[in-house]
Amino acid sequence: MAPLVLSSPEQYQKLVDSVDTFLLDCDGVLYHGPVVVEGVKTVLNMLRASGKKVIFVTNNATKSRRKLQAALNKLDLNASLEECFGSAYASAVYLSQVLNFPKDKKVYVFGEEGIEEELDAVGIAHCGGTDTEDREFKPPIDFDSFKPDPSVGAVLCGFDSWINYKKIAKAMTYLRSNPKCELILTNTDATYPTHGSQFPGSGSLSIPIVNSSKRTPIVIGKPNTTMMDAIIADHKFDPSRALMVGDNLATDIEFGLNSGVRTLLVMGGVTSRDQVFGDKPSHVVPDLVIESFGDLAVLAKDKAE
């Protein structure tokens, strides 16, 4: 079944009236690089003024909510801390509220400051991450130094630009020595888009740990339902009155569909028209399609008049 294409103020208003919680991808929906999409600021202010809940949902695990908020507000989007929900915070919430991570255990972090900050926010102890002894590893390898710490109850992997053999070996050692130690990935994004190009993403960096530990990980980020479980656990909203807005069929739209949340695809991002309306469209079909999220700004103008 083809998606419904929204193009009139009447359709826009009907949609807004039917939604209490807007889950918004960031790049491609709100902005393209440093440029905010026309009308988006007006739409966000209108939704907030109408009592709608706005949540910015991103797979980026290098940024804590605080840093995501700062990045959004640098673009004058008036984001609050509560509105920000990256995969680093989602992982921390999943550990604390869904898995009820034991208070006497700690997490080994294969990642950067964003993950550590969010674990601190939910009161979970951690090691690894930015620890100097791991970051400044240099060969030769002392295999006798890889002694498992029995207090480590989970290994959490995100994007780590300080990746090295010692971090991989430590993570594998914790997982192989303790069958109850959880392996959690913030996301499985194969690439990280920046400066108009693609570089290895979190999913690519975690492969050595997954392969060497022979463990099946819990994956948090979009399109997995674990991300939605974390968002709902933290924000307590009705999924039937929520809408996932994104520009990527494989992450944003599939995320909503997997979670039983209606989806709105924004054109002008990473998804081509052929993928939606071509002779051989994608098997991932959004519920709704709109040219730009900023198009909803016409509703604010109508009310002003």
pLDDT of residue 303: 63
Helix ranges (DSSP H) in the chain: 9-17, 40-49, 65-74, 87-93, 113-121, 132-135, 165-177, 202-213, 225-235, 254-258, 273-277, 297-304
Per DSSP, the three-state class of 32 is strand
Mean pLDDT of 265-273: 92
Q: Which residues contact 49 (CB under 8 A, 6 or more apart)?
A: none
Q: Which residues contact 236 (CB under 8 A, 6 or more apart)?
A: none
SS3 readout for 88-153? HHHHHHHHHHHCCCCCCCEEEEECCHHHHHHHHHCCCEEEECCCHHHHCCCCCCCHHHCCCCCCEE
What does the mean pLDDT of the chain come to?
A: 94
pLDDT score of 302 more than 70: no
Query: Residues comprising the binding site for substrate?
Result: 222
Tokens representing 5 are 């294409």
**Where in the sequence numbering do the catalytic residues fall?**
25, 27
Distance CA 256, CA 3 (A): 14
pLDDT score of 305 more than 60: no
Q: Read off the pLDDT of residues 179-201 as tens digits, 9 standing for 90 and up.
A: 999 999 999 999 877 766 788 99
CB 298 within 8 A of CB 11: no
Neighbours of 195 (CB within 10 A): 7
- Taking alpha carbons only, the member of 304, 303, 305, 267 closest to residue 286 is 267
Mean pLDDT of 166-172: 95
Domain annotation for the chain: domains and CATH numbers = 4-59+223-304 (3.40.50.1000), 101-219 (3.40.50.1000)
pLDDT score of 304 more than 60: no
| Phi, psi (deg, nearest 5) at residue 14 | -60, -40
Which of 179-194 are b and which e, b meaning 16 or more Cβ less than 10 Å from the residue's Cβ? eebbbbbbbbbeebee
Q: Read off the pLDDT of residues 116-156 as tens digits, 9 standing for 90 and up.
A: 999 999 999 999 999 998 998 888 888 888 888 999 999 99
Q: Lowest mean pLDDT of 40-54, 138-152, 253-267, name the range.
A: 138-152
pLDDT score of 59 more than 60: yes
Query: Residues comprising the binding site for Mg(2+)?
Result: 25, 27, 247
Distance CA 61, CA 202 (A): 8
Q: Read off the pLDDT of residues 64-76 as tens digits, 9 standing for 90 and up.
A: 999 999 999 999 9
Q: Read off the pLDDT of residues 202-252 as tens digits, 9 standing for 90 and up.
A: 999 999 999 999 999 999 999 999 999 999 999 999 999 999 999 999 999
DSSP 216: P
pLDDT of residue 136: 87
